Chains A and B, each alone.
Chain A
Amino acid sequence: MQQTYTSPEFAYRQSEEQRRGEMRRHPVVIVGAGPVGLTAALDCARRGLKVVVLDDNNTVSVGSRAVCYAKRSLEIWDRLGVAAPLVDKGIRWQVGKVFFQDDLVYRFDLLPEPQHRMPAMINLQQYYLEETLVEACAREPRVDLRWKHKLIELQQLEDRVLLTVETPDGVFQMEAEWLIACDGANSDTRRMVGAPFTGQAFHDRFLIADVVMKANFPTERWFWFDPPFHRGQSVLLHKQCDDVWRIDFQLGWQADPVEEKKPENVIPRIRSMLGPQAEFELEWVSVYQFACRRIDRFRHGRVLFAGDAAHQVSPFGARGANSGVQDADNLAWKLQLVVDGAAPASLLDSYHDERAAAADDNLGHSTRSTDFITPKSRSSLRLRNAVLELAETEAFARPLVNSGRLSRPTPYGRSPLNTADESAFAGAMSPGSPCADAPVHRGGKAGWLLGALGDGFTLLGFGTALDQLSVGGVTARALNVGTDLTDDTGVLAERYDARPGTVYLIRPDQHVAARWRSFDLAKAEAALRTALGH
């Protein structure tokens, strides 16, 4: 199996500190070179932090892992300069179809709203994503990516973390001022810290079959409840690149994972779905079960948890990798300000406040989807099937159909970093919300708002002549709509409900911190201080 892709092998190199037997202290060490760890490394480096990334393996992820990457993740990767190859390589899609038994009952479109730079969703095998991120890290002198480095012990001290690391050359120690644990759902780091990881386990099993085929299915997400080819269960179909299709069969809790993985059992399932004449080859098969859990606190002293190490969701809704990338996006700027002494360490507690709220939001959606897909009782099955049968002809029932609510960024509406509105605003850009993109012109050239916002604090003013603003060495750059950039289509003003004089204070992770109908220096300074965790 696995014919379309050969995993690269990255070279192990002994570090100078291990070779010389010197204890070195690093500002930031990241454990785990998956999508979240690599994104965190790139974001930290872009902000000027030197980072060491430790990974116990020497290659990218193997087999079927994450597939769907949402617009918000692509916007984050675009800020980090790595989105273009992902969007080029990935499969764009925005239409989903839901079938019940023999019939199409529901069709949705993820992005009816035009005028966004990034697509609603792309599908891409995780190993391609990781390869792109590894290449970007190799180009970044501030990232020191170390393969075959396994963290085996950690000790939290007053002002640093002492790490014991094993490599092919033996065991050595290093120090980190801050450690970011991105080592996945079975995080060893989490175990070493002794952090609880609790939630709900689902008693069901799913078969993932990635197959290579030349098929005429459109590039859409297709979800079947109780189809004729797999009675009583659900099936999900996604297209990936290289003509690889992801088919996800619900098996039920009683299924034997070892038997179900055997090609002689998998192939008939696929054949009954695709028809007797379909030509396909198995690329990858695995059987999984899942849980919805999260860590108690995202920050344990000087250890910060991100991605699956901090939260685990069901696969329905593409909320795993996407929420992990948003963790990295939330953490990197805060860590840089704390390491540089420009913000108090308590700013990192807002990482927990904001991302734990997002994790709970994702867990809630994921649990609701799972309960709809796999009803736990005869009466909930009946209600579920009643919804599906009604949805075929009755529009009112369609919002109740839940085959996975696809990942959207969670606004940090209750964040301590927000300054509450004093005036009325319409639309979605309330404090804590991720900034919506919009087409703009800069220097006569067509571009996008998110590209113009960049990586720092920004004062975005409409019809204003603002100057930059500084608080304790942290500067918010001024961006005046009308002079620094223009809003030729009016989409920007519409999305931000802007009138002449409206000012937004935008955070380094491109979330709204505060907004006003007119500029007041003292209020803006106070809002910037609040956003810095003072």
Chain B
Amino acid sequence: MPLNRQPNIPDADGFYEELVASQRDLSDDQADMMTAKLVLILANHIGAREVLSEAIALARSNTLAGASSPAPHHE
């Protein structure tokens, strides 16, 4: 099954509110860590290797294409 790129979450506004709210009292570092964990938890739930590759590629290309993305910097 290919990556589903059509709307698929019932109660989209409620989901988004919950996601944002879950990070409200976290520091930036904690929020970044939480997001990383969420990615891993969801990736494991999906499991299908090709779907994951497609999702990774989409996230990356969308980031690189984003006009407002800051250029990568090195520390």
The interface of chain A, by Cβ under 8 A from chain B, is 378, 382-383, 385-387, 389-390, 394, 396-397, 400
B64 to chain A, nearest CB (A): 15
Q: Complex Cα distance A378/B36, Å?
A: 12
Which residues of chain B in 34-59 are interfacial with respect to chain A, using CB atoms and an 8 Å cutoff? 36-37, 39-41, 44
Report the nearest A residue to B38, measured CB to CB: A386
Contacts of B40 in A (CB 8 A): 383, 386-387, 390, 397, 400
User: Roughly how many angstroms separate A386 CA and B41 CA in the complex, as a whole number?
Assistant: 10
Given contact pairs A383-B40, A385-B36, A390-B41, enumerate 15 new A-B contacts (beta carbons under 8 Å).
Answer: A378-B75, A382-B32, A383-B36, A383-B39, A385-B33, A386-B33, A386-B37, A386-B39, A386-B40, A389-B37, A390-B37, A396-B41, A396-B44, A397-B40, A397-B44
Instruction: Report B's interface with A, CB cutoff 8 A.
Output: 32-33, 36-37, 39-41, 44, 75
Residue of B with least CB distance to A386: B36
Cα distance A390–B42 in the bound complex, in angstroms: 13
Alpha-carbon separation in the docked complex, A378 to B40 (Å):
17
Contacts of A385 in B (CB 8 A): 33, 36
Bound: A382/B35 CA distance, A:
10
Which residues of chain B are within 8 angstroms of A386 by Cβ–Cβ distance?
Answer: 33, 36-37, 39-40
**Count, A-B residue pairs, CB within 8 A:** 26
* Residue pair B75, A382 in contact (C-beta under 8 Å): no
Chain A residues in 8 Å Cβ range of B39: 383, 386
A/B interface sample: 5 pairs, CB < 8 A: A378-B75, A382-B36, A385-B36, A386-B39, A386-B40
In the assembled complex, which residues on chain B have CB atoms less than 8 Å from the CB atom of A378?
75
What's the nearest-Cβ distance from chain B to residue A86, in Å?
40
B33 proximity list for chain A (CB < 8 A): 382, 385-386, 389
A391 to chain B, nearest CB (A): 10
Chain B nearest Cβ from A467, distance in angstroms: 47
CB-defined contacts of A389 to chain B, threshold 8 Å: 33, 37
Q: List residues of chain A with CB within 8 A of the CB of B44.
A: 396-397
B16 to chain A, nearest CB (A): 22
Min CB gap A192→B, angstroms: 40
Q: Nearest-CB distance from B18 to chain A (Å)?
A: 20
Question: Smallest CB-CB separation from A399: which chain B residue?
Answer: B44
Closest-by-CB residue of B relative to A400 is B40
In the A-B complex, the 10 residue pairs with the closest CB atoms: A386-B36, A396-B44, A386-B37, A382-B36, A383-B36, A382-B32, A390-B37, A386-B40, A386-B33, A382-B33
Bound-complex Cα distance A324 to B33 (A)? 41
User: Quick one: which of B32, B36, B39, B44 has the most chain A CB within 10 A?
Assistant: B36
